[in-house]
Chain A
Amino acid sequence: MNFGRFFRSTVGIGLTAAILLALPFVAATGGQAWVRILDFAILYVFLALGLNIVVGLAGLLDLGYIAFYAVGAYTWALLASPHFGLHWPIWAILPLGAGLACFAGVLLGSPTLKLRGDYLAIVTLGFGEIVRIFLNNLNAPINVTNGPQGITLIDPVSFGAFKFSGTTQIFGFALSGPQKYYFLLVALAILVIIINIRLQNSRIGRAWQAIREDEIAAKAIGINTRNLKLLAFAMGASFGGVAGGIFSAMQGFVSPESFSLLESIMILAMVVLGGMGHIPGVILGAVLLTVLPEVLRYGVGPLQMAMFGKMLVDPESLRMLVFGLALVLVMRFKPAGLWPSPERQRELKETGK
């Protein structure tokens, strides 16, 4: 069955739209917590697709992607909270956050142009850590980030008088805060999916893929590898910045803890686990890796009670254990990811790998 064609057909689009529309209401029957989890799943789809540009298309292994997310989140948090008494509108902050993240991307990209593969990975990782350490410590002598306590009471997303927090009545429907964010995030995710699809087969996208496959050959056929690598970093970073801004507004709270290396690794795992460079795969990876730990959170405790009548092991660590094992097993049996692109599958078969 050809999923690609299915999703492009009218029936497919209609069905997908219907499911996307119904999802937050179905989830709400299990409580608003599940709608929130859905929100995060889509936020991670957004992030993973941003990283997919850098890692999947251009082949630059970035282990510090969360830094750009942090830049976006803190831009929003500082400019729209009582911390500095500023309450800028979304029209100003979101582009500014994206712009600053983009700048950070170029800042990281420019000294690392010569580096390859794993050297690049460790430098990006270091960059991510540097950003986190600064966020953690910039509360003295001048209090900029409020240190490990983070920033609270951040303004929600609002367009004029329409706020995304709290419940509002629209056409007789009562929409809760997380549900409203859900629709905002879906809209943004669709936008980033379209950008990704358009990029993939554009001149730029093909140049990125050429760099990914063989940088020297790409240079030899006249691709400006320097500018294109910087562009990949900048573009991926701006997506991270936008996602960070929304995250900040949605949570109402940010602290450096949300931007640890583990988060970068998780986003990378989403891209690789789903199928690097393949958009549906990346979406699948992001949704699975967000929802699976939550399902486990609610699942492992009661399951243990049912099976053994008591809590044998701490559910929190069991949950992470199962999660780690799942990563290992998927990679063991689907080395190219759960849903790799057809070309990649063919390559793997041909080379007998």
Chain B
Amino acid sequence: MDIFLQQIINGLVQGSIYALVALGYTMVYGIMGLINFAHGEVVMIGTLVTITVAGSLIKAGMPVAVAGFAGLMAAVLVCMALGWALERVAYRPLRNAPRLTPLITAIGMSIVLQNLAMMIWGRNYLTFPALLPKMDFEFAGANFTMIQIIIVLVSAATMGGLLLLVYRTKLGMAMRATAQNPAVASLMGVNINRVIAAAFVIGSALGAVAGVMVGTYYEIAHYQMGFMLGLKAFTAAVLGGIGNLAGAMLGGILLGIIEALGAGYIGDLTGGFLGSHYQDIFAFVVLIVVLMFKPSGLFGEKTGDRA
């Protein structure tokens, strides 16, 4: 039982990170129907910027809390600028292009960002500075750390903020209108370009927060870390029904928990035939099974023929 609880906690933490990244995918997809493959790279750059800024501030003798906050802010600002630039330079000119064209552009941008990061930060693993105090707690036989609690709380707060933004502000209304029908929204006076840019900027800011949390949690970072994280987060977004904000959050958390439980129990389930290194297939197996029965994800609306 304690293993069960332990894996639920681990999964919840991992899942909240997935959820934050998944929101970036789902916002962009919901509004313009594009899989922004470069989003994982944005997250990676967020982590690496934090390492540079917070690391050098700590070295300069600043208190850890201030340095950490400055690092987070720097990451958020850099990622927002990056998201804006991506949209403006790479995707906006392609808005009316054939459907697969922006996908290839996104892949191209992903390769570009990865290699830029490698040029700037090198090809070695970097240590993420310890920004949060290390404290352990025990609850019903399961251990968890201060870092884990903070990750869950920060993502919950960020996601709450996003929901407020989307459902309670004018910009949010414009976003929802654009997602439903861009042409009609623009006739109603919505500035489509601004809304799409905003979706990219907000998504990237969430990605930056997620990037800092990944760094804090795993304590290392690498220029290739964005790829698998992005892939999992995208899977989570599809699992929940892509384009649906609540779906992305729940999809992310669900995916995190399924993965953690899967990794914990796969050995027992298969009589030791498959070990925990099969962890990564769970995400995809669950995805395939869910989509077989609910072709538009758990919470997705029935999509029309967009292919």
Chain A positions within 8 Å of B, measured between CB atoms, are 55, 59-61, 111-112, 114-123, 125-127, 129-130, 133-134, 136-137, 140-141, 214-216, 261, 265, 268-269, 272-273, 276, 313-314, 317-318, 320-321, 323-328, 331-332, 335-336, 344, 348, 353
B118 touches A119 (CB 8 A): no
Mask, B267-280, CB within 8 Å of A = 1, is 00000111101101
- Given A121-B35, A126-B284, A127-B288, A325 contacting B305 (CB threshold 8 A): no
Q: In chain B, residues 238-279, which have Cβ atoms closer than 8 Å to a Cβ of chain A?
A: 238, 242, 272-275, 277-278
B128 on the A face (CB < 8 A): no
In the assembled complex, the Cα of A313 lies from the Cα of B102 at a distance in Å of: 29
* B100 partner, pick from A272, A313, A318, A353, beta carbons under 8 A: A272
B231 on the A face (CB < 8 A): yes
The residues of B that contact A120 with a CB separation of less than 8 Å are 307
B107 on the A face (CB < 8 A): yes
A314 touches B118 (CB 8 A): yes
The residues of A that contact B292 with a CB separation of less than 8 Å are 111-112, 114
B116 touches A133 (CB 8 A): no
- Given A61-B307, A126-B284, A137-B277, A261 contacting B231 (CB threshold 8 A): yes
Least CB distance from A5 to B in Å reads 26
- Given A114-B295, A272-B100, A317-B115, A324 contacting B235 (CB threshold 8 A): no
Least CB distance from B134 to A in Å reads 33
A353 touches B291 (CB 8 A): no
The 3 A-B residue pairs with the shortest CB-CB distance, nearest first, are A327-B108, A126-B284, A324-B111
Q: How many residues of B contact A (CB 8 A)?
A: 55
Mask, B9-50, CB within 8 Å of A = 1, is 000000000000000000001000101000000000000000
Least CB distance from A53 to B in Å reads 15
The residues of B that contact A61 with a CB separation of less than 8 Å are 100, 307
A116 touches B306 (CB 8 A): yes
- Given A265-B107, A328-B108, A335-B97, A112 contacting B284 (CB threshold 8 A): no
The residues of B that contact A140 with a CB separation of less than 8 Å are 275
Q: A321-B119, A325-B112, A344-B98 are in contact. List 17 more A-B contacts (CB 8 A).
A: A111-B291, A114-B292, A115-B291, A117-B303, A117-B306, A118-B306, A126-B283, A133-B278, A137-B275, A141-B273, A314-B123, A320-B115, A324-B112, A328-B108, A331-B97, A336-B97, A336-B101
B52 on the A face (CB < 8 A): no
A331 touches B104 (CB 8 A): yes
B285 touches A325 (CB 8 A): no
B296 on the A face (CB < 8 A): yes
Mask, B92-103, CB within 8 Å of A = 1, is 011011111111
B281 on the A face (CB < 8 A): yes
B119 touches A314 (CB 8 A): yes
Least CB distance from B236 to A in Å reads 10
The residues of A that contact B273 with a CB separation of less than 8 Å are 141
B234 on the A face (CB < 8 A): yes
A215 touches B105 (CB 8 A): no
Mask, B69-111, CB within 8 Å of A = 1, is 0000000000000000000001001101111111111011111
B242 touches A118 (CB 8 A): yes
A119 touches B238 (CB 8 A): yes
The residues of A that contact B102 with a CB separation of less than 8 Å are 331
In the assembled complex, the Cα of A5 lies from the Cα of B278 at a distance in Å of: 53
The residues of A that contact B205 with a CB separation of less than 8 Å are none
B287 on the A face (CB < 8 A): yes
Q: Which residue of A lies closest to B279 (CB)?
A: A133
A-B contacts, 28 listed (Cβ < 8 Å)? A111-B288, A111-B291, A117-B306, A121-B35, A123-B287, A126-B235, A129-B231, A129-B280, A130-B285, A133-B280, A137-B274, A137-B277, A141-B272, A141-B273, A265-B107, A268-B104, A317-B118, A323-B111, A325-B108, A325-B112, A327-B108, A328-B105, A331-B94, A331-B101, A331-B104, A335-B101, A344-B98, A353-B98
Least CB distance from A337 to B in Å reads 8
Least CB distance from B305 to A in Å reads 6
A328 touches B109 (CB 8 A): yes
In the assembled complex, the Cα of A215 lies from the Cα of B108 at a distance in Å of: 30
The residues of A that contact B231 with a CB separation of less than 8 Å are 125, 129, 261
In the assembled complex, the Cα of A353 lies from the Cα of B242 at a distance in Å of: 26
The residues of A that contact B291 with a CB separation of less than 8 Å are 111-112, 115, 119, 123
B285 touches A324 (CB 8 A): no
In the assembled complex, the Cα of A127 lies from the Cα of B287 at a distance in Å of: 10
Q: Which residue of A lies closest to B109 (CB)?
A: A328
Least CB distance from B35 to A in Å reads 6
A276 touches B100 (CB 8 A): yes
Q: Which residue of A lies closest to B99 (CB)?
A: A117
* B96 partner, pick from A59, A116, A313, A353, beta carbons under 8 A: A353
Q: Which residue of B lies closest to A269 (CB)?
A: B104
The residues of A that contact B287 with a CB separation of less than 8 Å are 122-123, 126
- Given A130-B281, A327-B108, A328-B112, A123 contacting B101 (CB threshold 8 A): no
B295 touches A327 (CB 8 A): no
B108 touches A272 (CB 8 A): no
* A273 partner, pick from B98, B104, B275, beta carbons under 8 A: B104
A324 touches B104 (CB 8 A): no
A215 touches B307 (CB 8 A): yes
The residues of B that contact A55 with a CB separation of less than 8 Å are 100
